[in-house]
Structure 1
C-alpha cells in the first residue's frame, strides 16, 4: 500500500509490501506548505503548486494505480482558512484525496510507527517519551505501559521560524510558546542513533558559525534556519521532560498510516 503524509514543510510518500512489511519505494520533497501561513492564515498558490508538482513527481517514481493509496495531512491544512479549496485543487490535478486528521490522530499513528521501529531495533518499547517536531506543530507523547498522555504544541520549525526574526528571539520566545507542560539524511543510518543535549549545543554553534552559503550546503537549500529552529525547540523539550539524551527514529506519520492500513487489509 502507499501512504502519503503532507506536512507543513514536507511531502512524504512510502510504498510498503503489507505481506513482508518491507518498504518497496519512498519519496520525500520539501514543499513548504505552511510558507506564509502565520502571516495570512492561508495556504498560498505557490505552496499549492509545489505540493501538486511533488505529488506528480512521486507518481513518476511510484505506481499509484497498482496499490491502495491513503493520504493524510496535518497542522498546516488544519489551520488554513482555505483548506477545502486547496485539497480540492490537489485532488483535481493529481487524483489524490487527502484526509485532514486531528493532532490526536497524528500522535496515535506516529506512536504506532515508533513502537514498531523500536521493536525492530530491539529497544524496550513499553515506556518512553516521544518528541515529534514537525513544520507546523510539535507533539510530546508520554507512553507508559498501555497509558498514553499526549500534548500538542501549535508551533513547528516553519511556523516558529516565520513568527520571529532571529534565532535569539526564537530562543527567548520558546518557553512562553511551549509553556512548562510536564504532562537529507539516510533513515537506515540514523534510526536508533542516540542524540545528547551537548551534541545539540555543538551542532547549533557549528551551524551558526558558518556563512549562509555553507550552511545551505551542509543541511540542504532552504533548510538552514529551519534546522536551527528545530534544534532550539528540541532543547526546550529536553528541559520540559528533564532528559539530556534521546534515540533518533526516522519513522513517523506516513509509516503509521501504512502500518494501520496494512493491518486492516489482513
Structure 2
C-alpha cells in the first residue's frame, strides 16, 4: 500500500510518501517547501489570505505528485499555526474547497504523541534509559516521555517562527518550564524538527541533505552553543550560504537554537540524539502499521 502524509506546519509544508510492505515503511519521496503559514500572524492570530496562498499552491503541487506516484491514500494534518488561528475554521474550509484534501487539525498533545511514536520507532534505540523526545517546530515546542507505564505529553506555544516574530527571548525560559514536569531521572534526549536536523546537517557540512547521515547523529551542548554563536553573529545573507542550512530557514535558525539551549539547560542535558523520524512517521505507525503500540493513544 502506498500512502502519503502532508504536514502543514508553521514554517514549512512537508510531504512524505511511503510504501507499506509487510508492516515495514519504505520511503518513496520526502520533500518540503517553506510556506510559512504562520508568518505575520500577530496577536490577533489571523492567518492572512496572501500567506495562505503559498500553502494552497504547495498542497496542489503535492496532490499532483501523489497522483503521479499512484498514492492510494493521502492524510493531511495541520499543527500549531492553524490550530491556534482565530480564523482556523475558515482556513481549513478554504484548503478543503480549493484542494479537495481533508485537513485534520491535531492538538499539541496529539502532535507530541505522534512525534514520540515516530522518533522512538527505531529498533536500535537503547532501552536502558527512558526516551525523552523534544520537537521544536515553527509555532510550538513539545516534550514527551514515557515512564512508569505513562505517556507524558506537554506542548507550549513557542517555536522558531513565533519567537523570531515576537522577540520575547527573555521570556523563553519561563514559557518552557511547564514542559519539564514529570520528566524521568535517567533519560535519553531525542530531538526532532527542522532546527535540530538543520544543526546536524550544518555540523556535518552537508552539501546535500542526507536523512541517513542525520538519523542518530549526536549533538552535544558545547557544539550547539558554538553553532549558535557562529550563526547569530552572521548577517542574514551570509547565513543563507552556510552548508547544511536551508536558505529559507536562515532567518529563524538562531531562535530555534535559543529554544533548544533553554530546554537542555532546564533538563541539565549535555547531548541530544537527532531523529529524522517525527510525527509524520508516527502517524503512519499509528494509522497504517498493524502493530499494537505499547503507548496509550492520544
The root-mean-square deviation of aligned C-alpha atoms, in Å, is 2.1
Tell me the equivalent position of 1:51.
Answer: 55
Deviations 1:80-109 (A, max 9, x none): 011111111111111111111111111111
Tell me the equivalent position of 1:67.
Answer: 72
Deviations 1:3-37 (A, max 9, x none): 11111111111111111411112221111111112
Structure with the bigger percentage of helix: 1
The answer to whether the aligner puts 1:32 opposite 2:36 as a matched pair is yes
Q: What is the deviation of 1:65?
A: 6.0
Deviations 1:132-183 (A, max 9, x none): 001110001122363222221111111111111xxxx62x221222236531
Is the 8 Å Cα contact of residues 180 and 240 (structure 1) preserved in structure 2?
A: no
Structure 1: runs of 5+ lacking an equivalent: none
What is the alpha-carbon distance in structure 1 between the residues aligned to residue 148 and residue 12 of structure 2? 32
Q: What secondary structure sits across from 2:120 in the alignment?
A: helix
Q: Decide whether aligned partners of structure 1 residues 65 and 17 sit closer, same or farther in structure 2, where only a CA change above 3 A counts.
A: closer
Q: TM-score, normalised by structure 1?
A: 0.90
Which of these residues, 214, 228, 253, is aligned with residue 190 of structure 1? 214
Structure 2: runs of 5+ lacking an equivalent: 182-197, 199-208, 293-298
Moved more, 91-100 or 57-66: 57-66
The answer to whether the aligner puts 1:42 opposite 2:46 as a matched pair is yes
Q: What secondary structure sits across from 1:56 in the alignment?
A: helix
Is the 8 Å Cα contact of residues 73 and 98 (structure 1) preserved in structure 2?
A: yes
Is the 8 Å Cα contact of residues 4 and 71 (structure 2) preserved in structure 1?
A: no
What is the alpha-carbon distance in structure 1 between the residues aligned to residue 143 and residue 218 of structure 2? 18
The answer to whether the aligner puts 1:11 opposite 2:13 as a matched pair is yes
- Give the count of matched residue pairs: 258
